[in-house]
A = this chain, B = another copy of it.
Amino acid sequence: MLSQTEENYLKAIYSIGLHTGKSVSTNNIAEELDTKASSVTDMIKKLSEKKLVDYKKYQGTNLTSKGKQIAVKIVRKHRLWEVFLVNNLNYAWDEVHDLAEQLEHIKSDTLINKLEEFLEFPTHDPHGDPIPDKEGNIEHHKNVMLSSIEENNTCKVLGVKDSSSAFLKFLDSKKITLGSSIKVISKEEFDNSITIEINNELFSISHLISKNLFVKKI
């Protein structure tokens, strides 16, 4: 049985690896988990002995398939709990992450499958992130950002890349939610800000915003 700490390391290595593709560096993990590099080295050695990561000194870390399987399972739990909190307990989408960080460590083979059934097999969490199935299969975003949509095209919001409370509350204030239709009216070359139309209203959003919204052209 893994400790919460070990699970958090596996999840961190998984999510860093998803973005970068390459081996995951000690410093990256330390930053992700808000700890020191020396602590990371210690834990990596332990995970390596348990065959959950491949590790060679100074060469970075990769999850083994066993390690990846565990990491994905934790992601699955995290996202299903987030769905429960938003859909059934009336939490807002910016309030659930920290709670899910706790709930994802509840140990039970049956619980998460029963929860999934209770939630009627959702495919995405409240932030638009895909929920892995029982077998660990996961359909990743196509990574089309609002910032890449051309003028006069309309798209639908599928998810957020940054799911910080600050960003989510900003979206709330602009009435941008998952499923919103957004038409790109014009793009400003100078600062990459764009003018968009949503619910028949026009306004301008910065590049920082548009590059953090996953969308699909329609």
Query: Distance (Å) between the CB of A113 and the closest chain B CB?
Result: 10
- Listed in ascending order, the chain A residues whose CB lies under 8 Å from chain B are 85, 88-91, 99, 102-103, 106-108, 110-111, 114-115, 118
- Provide the residues of chain B in CB contact with A115, threshold 8 Å: 89
Known A85-B111, A99-B111, A102-B107; 13 more pairs at CB < 8 Å: A88-B118, A89-B111, A89-B114, A89-B115, A89-B118, A90-B114, A91-B110, A91-B114, A99-B106, A99-B108, A102-B106, A102-B108, A103-B106
Query: Distance (Å) between the CB of A111 and the closest chain B CB?
Result: 6
- Provide the residues of chain B in CB contact with A88, threshold 8 Å: 118
Q: Which residue of B lies closest to A115 (CB)?
A: B89
- Provide the residues of chain B in CB contact with A107, threshold 8 Å: 102
Query: Distance (Å) between the CB of A94 and the closest chain B CB?
Result: 13
